[in-house]
């Protein structure tokens, strides 16, 4: 069984904002396999995640999406944790984890279906081991706990991860999930991306003490990590997942990061937070940190930079072109995927809706009636 993390005076950090490494033998050992090649791969993921987010935001601003939840500034928290997962692990996300979706193998062409309003979902969860965006704040914590406990009963050596924000820690669903998971030793990792703002509510109104301490009340280990340090996030998530898979039960990770943009594209953060705060966090940019580390360790060159940019642009092009080409769904598909198993009542409603559509006057008839 993996060692239970202890409470630390400072968040786990392995790379400083200027790219210098931090001497931490305990957590550095958990990412000892990450050499220059692997670090380049992580940097590529970070850039692609940001590029996906930039394109999603632009599409919404251009009227092509109804809504988009930006992840700008939170790339390291998502990439570092997602790259710690095994294929048979299962992710239960909120609505901001496009970077996690990328790491799980979601096709960028599928990432905007829900946000464009052409489907009830974006991707097939079972194909990638990740649920679709959850709009109900905190509900995914219970789903992750139930799935993890069921897998444990079945003898499967897997873990689940529930992603949520600092605001969700004040939701009853998360409290219930923590209690259930701790009581039944469910193999679930609660991953809190503390981006400091729950829409316009600062994190200080969610808790008078660090959020990670909420885990201690449930008898659950918790750890704080620099959420803008991709290596530190990778290390602590690997530790928590190993503990879960080996029967050690749940863990709570509080990744300290910052939402650089709006809560969603329907939000204006300039109305409730100071520009100086964002400027301070801009100096802790997770992408710049890895680039500076690579420069210090001779892992950076112009050719690599161009290759990463080209790959990110290709991903963004696929996301954009697929979004613009998405057809409007046929009205009767409203009944698809509502239940796992069809039943008589659903089929009755489908037939009635089809009859209603058949009786509706077409465009030519509407013109004649006018």
Q: Are 230 and 80 in contact (CB under 8 A)?
A: yes
d(CA 143, CA 163): 11
Active site residue 216: no
Of these residues, 20, 121, 216, 272, which one is catalytic? 272
Q: Are 110 and 325 in contact (CB under 8 A)?
A: no
d(CA 279, CA 276): 5
Of these residues, 51, 104, 116, 263, which one is catalytic? 263
DSSP H stretches of helix in 109-229: 113-116, 125-128, 139-153, 172-183, 213-216
What torsion, rounded to 10 degrees, do the Cα atoms 252, 253, 259, 260 define? 180
What torsion, rounded to 10 degrees, do the Cα atoms 51, 52, 54, 58 define? 140
Active site residue 272: yes
Tell me the three state secondary structure of residue 220: coil
Tell me the three state secondary structure of residue 160: strand
Q: Are 251 and 5 in contact (CB under 8 A)?
A: yes
Q: In what order do the strands lie in the sheet with 90-92?
A: 90-92, 160-165, 188-194, 251-256, 222-226
Residue 143 CB neighbour total at 10 angstroms: 18
- CA 287 from centre of chain: 17
201-202/251-256 β-pairing: unpaired
Q: What share of the chain is helix, strand, coil (3-state, %, to 5)?
A: 50, 10, 40
Query: Burial letters for 245-266: b for 16+ Cβ neighbours within 10 Å, e otherwise?
Result: beebbbbbbbbbbbbbbbbbbe
Q: Are 337 and 120 in contact (CB under 8 A)?
A: yes
Of these residues, 104, 259, 289, 292, which one is catalytic? 259
Active site residue 96: no
Residues identified as active-site: 259, 263, 272
């Amino acid at each position: 069984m993996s060692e239970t993390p202890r409470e630390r005076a400072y968040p786990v950090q392995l790379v400083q904002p200027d790219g210098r490494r931090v001497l931490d033998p305990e957590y550095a050992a958990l990412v000892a396999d990450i050499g220059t090649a692997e670090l380049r791969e992580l940097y590529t993921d970070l850039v692609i995640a940001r590029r996906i987010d930039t394109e999603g935001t632009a599409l919404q601003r251009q009227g092509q999406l109804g809504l988009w939840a930006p992840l700008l500034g939170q790339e390291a928290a998502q990439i570092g944790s997602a790259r710690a997962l095994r294929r048979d692990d299962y992710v239960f996300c909120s609505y901001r984890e496009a970077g996690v979706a990328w790491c799980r193998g979601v096709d960028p062409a599928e990432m905007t279906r829900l946000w464009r309003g052409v489907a009830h979902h974006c991707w097939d969860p079972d194909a990638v081991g990740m649920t679709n965006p959850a709009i109900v704040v905190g509900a995914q914590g219970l789903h992750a706990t139930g799935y993890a406990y069921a897998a444990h009963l079945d003898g499967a050596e897997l873990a689940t991860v529930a992603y949520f924000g600092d605001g969700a820690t004040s939701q009853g669903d998360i409290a219930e999930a923590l209690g259930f998971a701790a009581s039944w030793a469910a193999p679930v990792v609660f991953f809190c991306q503390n981006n400091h703002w729950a829409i316009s509510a600062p994190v200080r109104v969610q808790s008078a003490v660090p959020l990670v301490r909420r885990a201690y009340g449930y008898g659950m280990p918790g750890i704080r990590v620099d959420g803008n340090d991709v290596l530190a996030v990778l290390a602590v998530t690997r530790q928590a997942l190993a503990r879960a898979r080996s029967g050690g039960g749940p863990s709570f990770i509080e990744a300290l990061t910052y939402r650089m943009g709006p809560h969603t594209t329907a939000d204006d953060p300039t109305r409730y937070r100071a520009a100086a705060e964002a400027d301070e966090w801009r100096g802790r940019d997770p992408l710049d940190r890895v680039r500076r580390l690579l420069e210090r360790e001779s892992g950076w060159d112009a050719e690599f930079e161009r290759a990463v940019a080209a790959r990110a642009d290709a991903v963004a092009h696929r996301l954009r072109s697929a979004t613009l080409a998405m057809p409007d769904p046929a009205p009767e598909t409203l009944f698809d995927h509502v239940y796992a198993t069809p039943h008589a009542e659903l089929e009755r409603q489908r037939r009635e809706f089809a009859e209603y559509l058949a009786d509706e006057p077409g465009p030519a008839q509407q013109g004649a009636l006018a």
